[in-house]
Structure 1
Amino acid sequence: MNQRRYFATGHKGLEQVLAAELRAPEIGATEVRSGSSGTWFSGGRDAGYRACLWLRSGIRVLEEIARGPASSPEELYEWAMTLDWSAWLTVKQTFSIEARVWDSQITHSKYAALRIKDALCDSFRRRCGSRPDVDTERADLPLFLYIYRDEAILYRDLAGTTLHKRGYRDALHKSSLNEALAAGILLQAAYDGRVAFADPMCGAGTFAIEAALIAARRAPGLLRQRFPFESWPDFDRQLWKDCRGRAYGMARYEVPKAIMANDRHSGALALAAKDAAAAGVGEYIRFSEAEVGAFAPEEPLGLVCVNPPWGKRLSGPDVKTAWRDLGRFLRERCAGANVSVLTGNRDLVGELGLVPAEMRPLRTGKVECWVVRFRNIS
């Protein structure tokens, strides 16, 4: 099978987690190399399909389809006119184009995207008298252009809608945690389902749902109804069927250890339980309603992951009190556990009354955060 070159994007700070996922047998990528906010890898067409199925911390899976000169908008257009666009798109399909430029004579990313769009449309008009339409929401062929200095790299996006949108969440939760970020933090803590897990302030339940998907070996991509590549001219239907079949065959229908999710708000718990059921893991999560100080785990915990309020995310006079209550819970009821606390405000960490083993920076969107880790709480 012909080797292809891919780039998987993810959250800045979780690049090594993403690389480990790509190397794992479920995906089996080769030539894995981490970069800024993402990871390059190689493999056949099946590697791209499996990445869409199995990546938990990834956001996009981009396949490189062309490289060319881009010292000016004119040169970019002329190069794009030489491409055989019919290999990737039919005239009756739709496309979108997003661009990023870096240290380039072409200084505006939207103008770079426009020149690629113009070339694509002009090429189709010359060949068949009409052109594909643009669809910025659900394009059949989502394209991504990256220009660094005088070189352009054109990718096609296998996932389209970002991978963190698993498909199990249909309601907007206030301050809900990004699914890929939650899964990345769990994997960073080496969670594999073999220790009891709890989120004592679960809110929308993202940590617990992603933990259950990991523990049950459920490929998150199986929750998606459709990927753009399923309509591409070179789509291999049998290969995709085989990849999905192997993913279904690896799933567990019970989890080794308990997964617990607690919150003080009944409304948030109801939505979390609904989403867990939609993800097919509702039966594996034990939901409870209590203040964090009153939450009593049913068995000794091996890992706690929690995203408590931290001012920028949620404001109010009770934020410090919530952190102190969380710290008391960790000290009194989590003996021997490892803990990962996500926060965008390092000043609150001292309220826990614990000494961190490490603080790892990461970024979600434009927000700088930290994962504060505590080991073997005593």
Structure 2
Amino acid sequence: MDENYDMLAKCLYGFESVLARELRNLGAQNVREGVRNVQFKGDKGFMYKANLALRTAIRILVPIETFTLRTEDDLYQNLSRISWEKYLDENATLAIHSSVHSEIFSNSHYVSLRSKDAIVDYFRKKYQKRPSIDLKHPDVQFDIHIQKNTCTVSLDSSGESLHKRGYRTDTNIAPINEVLAAGLVLLTGYDGTQNFVDPMCGSGTILIEAAMIANNIPANINRSEFAFEKWPDFDEELFALIHDSLLKKIRNTDKKIIGFDKAPSAVRKAQSNVENASLEEFIKIERKNFFEETSPVDRNVIVVFNPPYGERLEVNVPVFYKQIGDTLKQHYPDTSAWLITSDFEEGLKNVGLRTSRKIKVFNGKLECKFVKYEMYSGSRKTSKQS
């Protein structure tokens, strides 16, 4: 039986508590929230499970060494003392990702280069041969994180970012990241026992993530590979066991998951992505204009949408957001409506509804707010501005 060891799951800002809850529900031990990350303990099988099942994790790291830095040269010297043959051999390929928050180093690319020098020099001195660099498809990927004077060296068990689920082939302008979409859906409290609507669905990412949550489908079941599959100690039998056990927990929701968009190209792309995810049975997508339609579901519904904002906005902002508020008031009674936007002043204030929650999140580098409107029927409607 493998022993438990420390791991770290990276996430987007604002989703630490959501990821921590996911980890606890999966069975992680000693879960501790950080900033854009959550630390936890688990064994090799749990590391496989975390990569397959976590919806809000960007990557899963396995720390192998931590040391203190006082000078630039300390990085090379400390890395030279690690027994690198435990993790790769001289014929393997590697890549290094670095992140730096320190006065000693200011450039993460430089840290990656110095770290690469230390590793290849180690092999050259000991074996007269050195591993090669392959930034696109390495055998082993390392993560170097420097926080002030502390350097942590980790194995990256995921490889490509876990937002690359494998189902999305068609996208529109500025598509929402799959991990962000899943996190937003989970923040609403959606669990598949409610009906779900995305009235500006774009390429369908929010709908697909909602359907996967509703049916308890592992987030990364469609991915073609993970970095740990190339590790020397990869246990194919154990991975297959974990994979199959997760598939057995899939359930079928009987609630509606509906999306629409006014652009024919968006509808086609969304339908194509839904097919790639094998979710046609659960998601209905139609060409409709949100501003001209009533809610397709009359009760127990959560509405989540990602309207145009920031760089992709080609509308009159005050008028557009006022239309959003008017449409929700007139056509979406008894609804919990959520939207994400970076247009705080010109946008949100013109919705004309009181927000019951505001959560700070980021869409790429854009600071956004994810806001909730509780829509009531009859006299409980409100037009008080947030």
Above 0.5 in TM-score?
yes
Structure 2 residue aligned with 1:10? 11
Q: Map 1:145-184 to 2 at 5 A.
A: 145-184=144-183
Residues 6-155 of structure 1 aligned to structure 2 (within 5 Å)? 6-24=7-25, 27-155=26-154
2:339 aligns to what SS in structure 1?
strand
CA–CA separation in structure 2 for the residues paired with 1:250 and 1:282: 20
Partners of 2:312 and 2:69 in 1: how far apart?
44
Which residue of 314, 317, 320 maps to 1:316?
A: 314
Amino acid of the structure 1 residue aligned with 2:268? A
- Cα distance per residue 1:263-304 (max 9 Å; x no partner): 001110100010011011122111111111223343224200
SS at match of 1:147: strand
Structure 1: distance between partners of 2:367 and 2:114: 33
Give the conservation status (yes or no) of the 8 Å contact 1:104–1:147: no
For the 8 Å contact 1:12–1:364, the answer to whether it is kept is no
- Classify 1:314/1:112 alpha carbon distance in 2 versus 1 (closer, same or farther; 3 Å): closer
Q: Which amino acid aligns with 1:13?
A: G
Tell me: CA distance 1:322–1:288, structure 2 relative to 1, closer, same or farther (3 Å). farther
- C-alpha deviation, 1:173, in angstroms: 2.0
Specify the alignment match of 2:279 in structure 1: 281
Residue aligned with 1:250, SS: coil
The residue that corresponds to 1:335 in the other structure is: 333
Kept in 2, the 8 Å contact 1:259–1:285? The answer is yes
Structure 1 residues 377 and 183, CA, compared in 2 at 3 Å: closer, same or farther? farther
Deviation at 1:221, TM superposition (A): 1.3
For the 8 Å contact 1:73–1:112, the answer to whether it is kept is no
Q: Provide the rounded CA distance (Å) in 2 between the counterparts of 1:318 and 1:282.
A: 35
Q: Which SS does the other structure have where 2:221 is aligned?
A: helix
Q: Deviations over 1:193-225 (max 9, x none)?
A: 110000111111111111111111110211101
Distance 1:350 1:117, change over 3 A: same
1:182–1:124 CA distance, 2 compared to 1 (3 A): same
Q: 1:320 and 1:208 mapped to 2: Cα distance?
A: 27
Percent identical residues: 31
Which residue identity is paired with 1:129?
Answer: Q
Alpha-carbon displacement from aligned partner over 1:125-147 (angstroms, at most 9, x marks no partner): 12322111111122221111111
8 Å contact 1:88–1:234 — kept in the other structure?
no
1: distance between equivalents of 2:312 and 2:318?
12
For residues 198 and 259 of structure 2, what CA distance do their matches in structure 1 show? 5
Which SS does the other structure have where 1:137 is aligned? coil
RMSD: 1.6
The answer (yes or no) to whether the contact 1:356–1:373 under 8 Å persists in 2 is yes
Letter in 1 for 2:7: Y
Letter in 2 for 1:139: P
Counterpart amino acid of residue 195 in structure 1: Q
Q: Once the two structures are superposed, what CA deviation does each residue of 1:297-347 show, in whole Å capped at 9, x if it has no partner?
A: 43224200011112x132324444432332233212322221211000112
Q: Which moved more, 1:41-50 or 1:68-77?
A: 68-77
Q: 1:109 and 1:376 mapped to 2: Cα distance?
A: 47
| Partner Cα separation in structure 1 for residue 342 and residue 187 of structure 2 | 18
**Cα shift at 1:376:** 4.7
Alpha-carbon distance in structure 1 between the residues aligned to 2:267 and 2:153: 43
Amino acid corresponding to residue 116 of structure 2 in structure 1: K
Q: Confirm or deny: 8 A CA contact 1:359 1:370 kept in the other structure.
A: yes
CA distance in 2, matches of 1:170, 1:92: 34
Q: Which runs of 5+ in 2 are unaligned?
A: 378-386
Contact residue 71 and residue 104 of structure 1 kept, 8 A: no
Residue pairs, 1:183-198, within 5 angstroms: 183-198=182-197
CA contact (8 A) 2:355 2:371 kept: yes
CA distance in 1, matches of 2:281, 2:271: 9
* CA distance in 1 between partners of 2:233 and 2:103 (Å): 33
Q: 2:242 matched to which residue of 1?
A: 243
CA distance in 1, matches of 2:215, 2:358: 29
Give the C-alpha shift of residue 352 in structure 1: 2.2
Distance in 1 between residues matched to 2:199 and 2:74, nearest whole Å: 56
- Alpha-carbon distance in structure 2 between the residues aligned to 1:7 and 1:331: 43
- C-alpha distance in 2, partners of 1:81/1:141? 17
**Residue 57 of structure 1 contacts residue 184 of structure 1 at CA under 8 Å; is this kept in 2?**
yes
Give the letter for the 1:295 counterpart.
E
Unpaired runs of 5+ residues, structure 1, are none
Deviates more, 1:276-285 or 1:327-336: 327-336
Structure 1 position 187, deviation (Å): 0.4
Question: Is this contact kept in 1: 2:96–2:143, CA < 8 A?
Answer: yes
Partner amino acid, structure 2, of 1:299: V
Extract structure 1 runs of 4+ deviating beyond 4 A.
none
**TM-score calculated relative to the size of structure 2:** 0.93
Q: How many residues align?
A: 374
